Amino acid sequence: MTMKKKILITGGCGFIGSNFIRYMLDKYPDYNIINIDKLTYAGKGENLKDKEGDSRYKFIHSDICEAPVVDKIVKGCDIIVHFAAESHVDRSILCSDAFVRTNVFGTHVLLEAAKRHNVSRYIQISTDECYGSIKKGSFTENSPILPNSPYSASKAAADLLARSYFVTHGLPVIITRSSNNFGPWQYPEKVIPLFITNLLEGKKVPLYGDGLNVRDWIFVLDNCAGIDLVMRNGKAGEVYNIGGGSEITNLELTRLILKKMGKGEESISYVSDRAGHDRRYSLNCAKIKKLGFRPKYDFKQALDLTIDWYKNNKPWWQKLKSKNV
Catalytic-labelled residue, pool 37, 63, 86, 128: 128
Task: Give me Rg for the CA atoms of the chain.
Answer: 19
Which ranges of the chain does DSSP label H, i.e. alpha helix?
Answer: 15-27, 67-74, 89-94, 97-99, 106-116, 150-169, 191-200, 220-233, 250-260, 286-289, 299-312, 314-324
For β-strands 32-37 and 6-10, DSSP reports them as parallel
Q: Is 129 a catalytic residue?
A: yes
Cβ-contact 243, 285 below 8 angstroms: yes
Q: Which of 31, 131, 151, 165 is catalytic?
A: 151
The CA-to-CA distance between both ends of the chain, in Å, stands at: 44
Catalytic member of 37, 63, 129, 159: 129
Helix (H) or strand (E) holding 98: helix 97-99
Instruction: Tell me how far apart the alpha carbons of residues 51 and 220 are, in angstroms, rounded to a whole number.
Output: 18
Annotated catalytic, 240? Answer: no
How far apart (Å, rounded) are the C-alpha atoms in residues 77 and 114? Answer: 9
What is the 8-class DSSP label of residue 273?
P
186 in Cβ contact with 15 (< 8 Å): yes
Residue 280 β-bridge partners = 214
Q: Is 203 within 8 Å of 156 (Cβ atoms)?
A: no
Nearest to 325, CA basis, from 197, 152, 149: 197
Query: Is 252 known to be catalytic?
Result: no
The C-alpha atoms of residue 102 and residue 37 are separated, in whole angstroms, by 11
Give rounded-to-5 percent helix, strand, coil for the chain. Answer: 45, 20, 35
**Cα(292)–Cα(286) distance, integer angstroms:** 10
**Residue 192 three-state SS:** helix
* Active site residue ranges: 128-129, 151
